[in-house]
Chains A and B, each alone.
Chain A
Amino acid sequence: MAGLAATLGSGAMTDSISNIKDADLLFVTGSNTTEAHPIIGLEMKKAVRRFGAKLILLDPREIELADFAYLHLRQRPGTDVAVLNAISHVIIRDSLANVNFIEERTEGFEAFATSVREWTPERAEILSGVPAQDIVDAAYLYAHARQAMIFWAMGITQHTTGTDNVKVCSNLALLTGHIGRPATGLNPLRGQNNVQGACDMGGLPNVFPGYQPVTDEAIRRKFAAGWGVELEHLAPKPGLTVTEITRGVLEGQIKAIYVMGENPMLSDPNLNHVAEAFESVELLVCQDIFLNETAQLADVVFPAASFAEKSGTFTNTERRVQMIRPALAAPGQAWADWRIILALAKRMGAGWTYTSPADIFDELAALTPQYAGMNHARLADGGIQWPCPTVDHPGTPVLHVGKFTRGRGQFVPIDFRPPAELPDEDYPFLLSTGRILFHWHGGTMSRRSPGLDAIAPEAEAEIHPTDAHTLGVQNGELVRVFSRRGSVVATARVTRRSSPGMIFMTFHYAEAAVNLLTNDAVDPTAKIPEYKVCAVDIEKFTPPVNKEILNEPESIFTHA
Chain B
Amino acid sequence: MLNADNIIPTTCPYCGVGCQIDLHVKNGLIYRVNGRFDNAVNHGNLCVKGRFGFDYVHAQDRLTTPLLRHARGQSLESTSWDTALGYVTNRLQTIRAEHGPDSIAFLTSAKCTNEENYLLQKLARAVVGTNNVDHCARL
A contact residues vs B (CB 8 Å cutoff): 16-18, 36-40, 42, 189-206, 208-209, 214, 223, 227, 229, 233-235, 237-242, 245, 248, 253-264, 267-269, 282-283, 285, 288-291, 296, 298-304, 306-310, 312-318, 320-329, 331-338, 341-345, 347-350, 357, 360-361, 363-364, 382-383, 437-438, 440, 444-446, 448-452, 455, 526-529, 531
Question: CB distance B63 to A317 under 8 Å?
Answer: no
Residues in A neighbouring B41, C-beta threshold 8 A: 17-18, 39, 316, 318, 320
Chain B binding surface SS class: mixed
Shortest Cβ distance from A383 into chain B, in angstroms? 7
Shortest Cβ distance from B39 into chain A, in angstroms? 5
Residues in A neighbouring B89, C-beta threshold 8 A: 344, 347-348
A-B interface contact total, Cβ < 8 Å: 423
Residues in B neighbouring A440, C-beta threshold 8 A: 14-15, 49, 53
Shortest Cβ distance from B32 into chain A, in angstroms? 12
Closest residue of B by beta carbon distance from A16: B40
**Per-residue contact bits, chain B 105-125, to A (CB 8 Å; 1 contact, 0 not):** 111111111111111111101
- A39-B47, A291-B61 as given contacts; A235 in contact with B117, CB under 8 Å: no
Shortest Cβ distance from A429 into chain B, in angstroms? 23
Shortest Cβ distance from B103 into chain A, in angstroms? 4
Closest residue of A by beta carbon distance from B94: A283
Question: CB distance B81 to A333 under 8 Å?
Answer: yes
**Measured CA separation A283–B135 after assembly (Å):** 18
Residues in A neighbouring B65, C-beta threshold 8 A: 303, 332-333
Q: Residue B122 contacts which of A227, A241, A446 (CB distance < 8 angstroms)?
A: A227
**Measured CA separation A192–B41 after assembly (Å):** 16
Residues in A neighbouring B139, C-beta threshold 8 A: 242, 264, 267-269, 528-529, 531
**Measured CA separation A303–B22 after assembly (Å):** 25
Question: CB distance B52 to A451 under 8 Å?
Answer: yes
Q: Residue B53 contacts which of A202, A245, A258, A452 (CB distance < 8 angstroms)?
A: A452
List which B66-96 residues lie within 8 A (CB) of chain A: 66-69, 72, 76, 81, 84-89, 91-93, 95
**Measured CA separation A316–B61 after assembly (Å):** 29
Shortest Cβ distance from B35 into chain A, in angstroms? 9
Closest residue of B by beta carbon distance from A236: B131
**Measured CA separation A491–B135 after assembly (Å):** 31
**Measured CA separation A291–B67 after assembly (Å):** 10
**Per-residue contact bits, chain B 40-53, to A (CB 8 Å; 1 contact, 0 not):** 11100111110011
25 A-B pairs whose Cβ atoms sit less than 8 Å apart in the complex: A18-B40, A18-B41, A189-B16, A192-B15, A192-B110, A193-B12, A194-B111, A197-B110, A201-B117, A203-B109, A255-B95, A268-B136, A296-B76, A300-B69, A301-B67, A312-B114, A323-B10, A327-B10, A331-B64, A332-B63, A334-B62, A341-B123, A444-B56, A448-B61, A449-B55
Question: CB distance B6 to A302 under 8 Å?
Answer: no
**Measured CA separation A296–B75 after assembly (Å):** 9
**Measured CA separation A197–B117 after assembly (Å):** 8
**Measured CA separation A347–B16 after assembly (Å):** 34
Question: CB distance B40 to A17 under 8 Å?
Answer: yes
B contact residues vs A (CB 8 Å cutoff): 6, 8-20, 23, 25, 28, 30, 38-42, 45-49, 52-57, 59, 61-69, 72, 76, 81, 84-89, 91-93, 95, 99, 101-123, 125-139
**Measured CA separation A36–B13 after assembly (Å):** 13
Residues in A neighbouring B20, C-beta threshold 8 A: 322, 382
- A254-B105, A262-B110, A320-B41 as given contacts; A329 in contact with B28, CB under 8 Å: yes
Question: CB distance A308 to B30 under 8 Å?
Answer: yes
**Measured CA separation A193–B45 after assembly (Å):** 17
Closest residue of B by beta carbon distance from A360: B115
Residues in A neighbouring B46, C-beta threshold 8 A: 39
Question: CB distance A326 to B135 under 8 Å?
Answer: no
Residues in B neighbouring A260, C-beta threshold 8 A: 106-109, 112, 116, 120
Which 7 residue pairs across A and B have the least CB separation, nearest first? A332-B64, A316-B18, A312-B113, A239-B131, A38-B47, A203-B108, A261-B109
**Measured CA separation A234–B131 after assembly (Å):** 8
**Measured CA separation A195–B138 after assembly (Å):** 9
Shortest Cβ distance from A350 into chain B, in angstroms? 5
**Measured CA separation A264–B14 after assembly (Å):** 17
- A197-B114, A324-B113 as given contacts; A257 in contact with B69, CB under 8 Å: no
Residues in B neighbouring A204, C-beta threshold 8 A: 133-135
Contacts A315-B18, A445-B56, A455-B48 supplied; 4 other A-B pairs, CB < 8 Å: A192-B16, A302-B66, A307-B13, A332-B64
Question: CB distance A446 to B120 under 8 Å?
Answer: no
**Measured CA separation A337–B88 after assembly (Å):** 15
Question: CB distance B63 to A304 under 8 Å?
Answer: yes
Residues in A neighbouring B72, C-beta threshold 8 A: 299
Residues in A neighbouring B85, C-beta threshold 8 A: 343-344, 347
- A193-B16, A198-B135 as given contacts; A259 in contact with B107, CB under 8 Å: yes
Residues in B neighbouring A344, C-beta threshold 8 A: 85, 88-89, 123
- A204-B135, A242-B136 as given contacts; A303 in contact with B116, CB under 8 Å: no
